[in-house]
Chain A
Amino acid sequence: MNWKEFTAATIWLFGILLSILAIFAITQDVKIAVGVLSLSLGILAIIWVSIARKSLSPGSSLRAYTTHFLLSLIFVILFSLWNISDELYNFKGLLSYVGYLFLAVSYIVFLRAAYQILSIGKEFGFQTQALKIKSVMEAKQDSSEINKAIKQSRPKLIRKSKKVK
């Protein structure tokens, strides 16, 4: 890390710390402050995933996985948002369970995304073929060594047979 990068990193760190302090100062409640902080991180994650999704080819396995990942992130954010609202307005009755509904849905979508990544792993994994290539190459190496040995020993045999004659 050079001096320029170090200065930039320090400024970034200072900025982040200042924003965290500002959140705590404005909300004056640890629970809400942590909630707002998690929410901002979640929104940043959503922005990054959306950009990634946009640049992937339509119909590709990766784009499908990214879509599910994005959906689960959205539901996690909704859960956080509901949690903060609950802290602020103190929901009663059925409304207090809505947050859990968001969390449950996000886990279901996460499970779907996990299954999709399992399929991608199976689909794009070439380990079986890699092992086959390895054994074919070893076999070829062995046969070429045998041929080499035969070629080297052949002149000696010819010379010996000439001497016998």
Chain B
Amino acid sequence: MVANVSYKLKEELKDLKYYVAIATVNAKDYHKTNLDIIKHLISEKIPGVYVTLNRPFEDLLATFQKNNIDERMVIFIDAVTKTAGGELKKTDNCLFIGSPENLSDISVAMDQAVRAIPSNEKFVFFDSLSTLLLYNHAETVARFIHFLAGKMRVWKVRGIIVSLQKNKDNELINELTPFCDVTIDFGVAQ
């Protein structure tokens, strides 16, 4: 499946060095596809920032290690552990933000993390638009993603915003498509 994801990413983004992409993923393959996208980026020796609103950092770390993904290349921003009431262990490569409602802190953390990475090529992986919609109004989310897309262009990164394939999200995705370079559909269950 990594090969499929890599192939699709290469095919859709072949001419783009820096981009802002919306990746729509179906619920069945959600975690696997996300992991494959990250695996593809890290295999190209690109460090980056992983913003998680879905899975706690500890869980992600275990999955990364299980799948031989070098987690040392990633700075994590976790906006779920505090909300879920999980244990907060202070780590160098993860910042725990209060909740997905806390868009100001997420923006500041992302800006600091991206600018700290000592590489010309870097990625920003935002997981996910759908979770953001659970905690915020659609209008707020649209404004935030518009802001984020603009920032990603300023940072010159490979930006991937993940969204679940849901009817509710489709309206927002259609609204956000003009701000992004490409919408990649990882929808077909593989």
Q: Which A residues fall within an 8 A CB radius of B?
A: 56-63, 123-134, 136-137, 140-141
Contacts and interface: CB of A to CB of B under 8 A. Distances in A.
The size class of the interface chain B forms with chain A is 20 to 34
Shortest Cβ-Cβ A-B pairs, 8 listed? A126-B116, A130-B116, A60-B104, A57-B104, A60-B105, A134-B118, A124-B112, A56-B104
A124 B109 contact: yes
Contacts of A59: 98-99, 101-102
A62 B108 contact: yes
Contacts of A123: 95
Contacts of B99: 59
B112 to A, nearest CB: 5
A125 B111 CA distance: 10
B171 interface: no
B92 to A, nearest CB: 5
Contacts of B101: 57-59
Interface in B105-145: 105, 108-109, 112-113, 116-119
B70 interface: yes
A132 B72 contact: yes
Nearest to B119: A137
B103 interface: yes
